[in-house]
């Protein structure tokens, strides 16, 4: 078992998130087709109470 920071070196292989068209964050999930930041393509903006609005 060797998880943790040591695994970070292997993370450059698969492209999981690309730049989101709506919010501009690098958070659009390629396979899920959904932005982890704003929820694109959902019409409403993704927002949670625990995530402080900024
Ligand atoms: Zn987004």
How far, in Å, CA of 44 to CA of 41, rounded?
9
How far, in Å, CA of 54 to CA of 50, rounded?
12
- Average pLDDT over the chain reads 87
How far away, in angstroms, is 31 Cα from ligand 1 center? 15
CA–CA–CA angle 51, 17, 5 (5° rounding): 80
Is the overall model pTM greater than 0.85, yes or no? no
**What pLDDT shows up at residue 18?**
97
How far away, in angstroms, is 52 Cα from ligand 1 center? 16
Domains of the chain plus CATH, in order, are: 14-46 (2.20.25.30)
Q: What percent of the chain has pLDDT over 70?
A: 87
**What pLDDT shows up at residue 6?**
74
**What pLDDT shows up at residue 19?**
97
Question: Residue 2 above 90 pLDDT?
Answer: no
Please identify every residue whose CB atom is under 5 Å from ligand 1, which is an ion. Answer: 20, 22-23, 35, 37-38, 40
More confident residue, 24 or 10: 24
**What pLDDT shows up at residue 54?**
61
């Amino acid at each position: 078992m060797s998880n943790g920071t040591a695994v970070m070196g292997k993370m450059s292989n698969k492209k999981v998130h690309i730049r989101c068209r709506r919010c501009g964050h690098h958070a659009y999930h390629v396979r899920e087709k959904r932005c982890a930041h704003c929820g694109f393509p959902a019409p409403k903006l993704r927002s949670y109470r625990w995530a402080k609005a900024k």
